[in-house]
Chains A and B, each alone.
Chain A
Amino acid sequence: MSTHTGEGPDAGTRPAPFRPDLFAGAAFIVLGLAFAIGGAQYDVGSALRMGSGYVPIALGGTLTVLGLLVVVMAFRGGDPAIRDVVRPPVPWRRAGLLVAAILFFGFTVGGLGLGPTLLVTTFLAALAAPEVKPLRAALTAAGITALCLVVFVALLQLKLPLFGDWLGG
């Protein structure tokens, strides 16, 4: 993917641990342990009849070890592929809006129905655009909602109610 097709690994080293590798390694360790510990709740079984926990524990352990290796990498100069790529800060507000838009869709589409849910979801998503005014976002949302209704309800005839039970539909 394009992020780390950066300009090559030729630049110098950094003194402090390379933070992206530290984070990535930590994420792998946490997830690996979570799966391994979670897997230990299930029956491990034997080599003949492996239980439900056998494979998750083995893989979780492997991921933890790989995560440790990535952490070691962080202290030894970091991943050359991304070491010299300067990334802009994380767009927290925008990411929050997009995640909220998707979660809102999941939580309400059954109750509110497709129409109202889509309006709110697309409005939240449109607000995440750079330099956007609320009115503009609302117009975008209305347009996309109309398009989606035409495609999914009218053309594809998906069995999704336009208005759900919460609205007395």
Chain B
Amino acid sequence: MNEEYINRLIELYFDGSTTLEQEDELRRILADARPPYSPQIESAMAVMGYTAVMQARPAVSRTSVLRRSRMAMMAASVSIMLAVGLCWMLVSGRYNPDNSCVAYVGGEKVVSAEEVMMIMDSQLNSISLAHDNFESELIEQHQAISEIFNQL
């Protein structure tokens, strides 16, 4: 095989004009070539070697791209549903991080709202008695002062 023919094939290859058969032929020629290599053969070897490596990488299949895309869409849908649900709970008042109704009685936690409110009522009742005593004493003191001023 003469050098002129090989160079012509290489030229067609770089022009992107080779047929599949011509490309296979060129690949065989380059595989059988022995040094010293002409500059044209070296260039062809470098390019065809790169092309071979790229062709060896597994192609991303259309199926896996579609699968990843569907999963991303599902994840986005779930996130949106969770966010909508949380917003609804907040707006409707069903969930309020500031709501609390709990008592700790001698170390025991009481979460029954009814019991907790009863504890509150009991405490306010105790305060009420003291408050009434305060007001009574205040009235007595006021009356005592009034009597003093009346006598002046």
Physical interaction between A and B = no
